[in-house]
């Protein structure tokens, strides 16, 4: 399933993508299809859904399958049950994660283009929850930067609380995956000598459009990935080129901190970022449209706007 957080007016809602680009409102569907929901309390948002565990997930699968059958038979008519993608605003799948843990230099080709030796251990940094935006929401160019860049990344979404997770059990703690764009103010990032400030501006953590559950992606290390800016392909790679793989990263991070449902681990970017483009950098400017694509998940689109 592909899960979404979406808004209709001022209401933030939880949904799942079904046929014909329709979004099924999960809490409403649990009420309408109460037999299939089997008494499971309808989750109100993405984190409560992930926190509810396997029983809630199985109930959602039964409800979705019944809705799909009824759609094919033309029997779905409950108000507030289905929405067209064109009639809603997609938000980040996890609108307010408690943690966003990011990886630096986790692709050897990106380390090479930066003139750096690939790290022996994962390089971790973080972004604040206030940096998160969703699909088609604008990235705001900071007033104090002149060198803003893009980075397409696969993000792992944690589905279960865990600490000191063994590598061989890591996938048990993964809910699924989404597309992440690690927007970065390079001038501030490199001037500071550490990365947090230059990567933490409001709107610098676009993610989405969907959270694809892990059963649809049995191997997250075989996914094509691209970044297009104004239609031009800037990054074109595969998650197969990660240095440190998902199970190792989940275990490595959890040795330091407790991972909780909805936490995000952004797994690094391949070569092709704007700062290292030849013969001269291809950095972002207001008006540019970024399209970050990962196979089996979708395309995350964000436009760059000037300072407010």
Compute the distance between CA of residue 243 and CA of residue 306 in angstroms, rounded to an integer.
35
The pLDDT of residue 78 is 76
Residues 6+ apart with CB under 8 A from 7: 13, 88, 89, 91
Closest residue by Cα to residue 93 from 4, 226, 220 = 4
Asked if 94 and 46 touch (Cβ cutoff 8 Å), the reply is yes
| Neighbouring C-beta atoms of residue 67, cutoff 10 Å | 24
**Number of Cα atoms under 13 Å in the Cβ half of residue 143:** 2
Q: Dihedral (C-alpha) 108, 205, 45, 37: value to the nearest 10 degrees?
A: -30
Both tokens assigned to 33 = 């299809």
Closest residue by Cα to residue 269 from 236, 232, 304 = 236
Predicted confidence pLDDT, tens digits, the chain (308 residues): 999 999 998 889 999 999 768 999 999 999 999 999 999 998 989 999 999 999 999 999 999 999 999 988 888 877 789 999 999 999 999 999 999 999 999 999 999 999 989 999 999 999 999 999 999 999 999 999 999 999 999 999 999 999 999 999 999 999 999 999 999 999 999 999 889 999 999 999 999 999 999 999 999 999 999 999 999 999 999 999 999 999 999 999 999 999 999 999 999 999 999 999 999 999 999 999 999 999 999 999 999 999 97
Residue linked to tokens 């022996």: 120
Domains of the chain: 2-90 (2.30.30.230), 93-305 (3.90.850.10)
């Amino acid at each position: 399933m592909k899960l979404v957080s979406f808004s209709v007016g001022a209401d933030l809602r939880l949904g799942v993508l079904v046929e014909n680009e329709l979004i099924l409102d999960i809490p409403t569907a649990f009420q309408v299809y109460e037999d299939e929901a089997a008494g499971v309390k309808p989750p109100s948002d993405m984190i409560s859904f992930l926190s509810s565990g396997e029983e809630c997930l199985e109930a959602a699968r039964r409800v979705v399958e019944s809705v799909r059958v009824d759609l094919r038979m033309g029997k779905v008519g409950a108000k507030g049950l289905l929405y067209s993608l064109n009639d809603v605003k997609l938000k980040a799948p996890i609108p307010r994660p408690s943690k966003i843990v990011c990886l630096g230099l986790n692709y050897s080709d990106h380390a090479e283009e930066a003139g750096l030796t690939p790290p022996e251990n994962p390089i971790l940094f973080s972004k604040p929850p206030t940096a998160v935006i969703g699909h088609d929401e604008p990235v705001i160019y900071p007033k104090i930067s002149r060198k803003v860049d893009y980075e397409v990344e696969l993000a792992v979404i944690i589905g279960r609380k865990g600490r000191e997770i063994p590598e061989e059990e890591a996938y048990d703690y993964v809910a699924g995956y989404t597309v992440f764009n690690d927007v970065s103010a390079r001038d501030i990032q490199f001037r500071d000598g550490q990365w947090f400030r230059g990567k933490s501006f409001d709107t610098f953590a676009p993610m989405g459009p969907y959270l694809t559950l892990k059963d649809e992606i049995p191997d997250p290390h075989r996914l094509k990935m691209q970044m297009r800016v104004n239609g031009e392909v800037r990054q074109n790679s595969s998650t197969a080129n990660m240095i440190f793989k998902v199970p190792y990263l989940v275990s490595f991070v959890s040795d330091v901190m407790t991972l909780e449902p909805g936490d995000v681990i952004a797994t690094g970017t391949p070569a092709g970022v704007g700062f290292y483009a030849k013969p001269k950098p291809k950095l972002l400017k207001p008006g540019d449209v970024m399209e970050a694509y990962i196979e089996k998940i979708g395309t995350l689109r964000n436009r760059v706007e000037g300072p407010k």
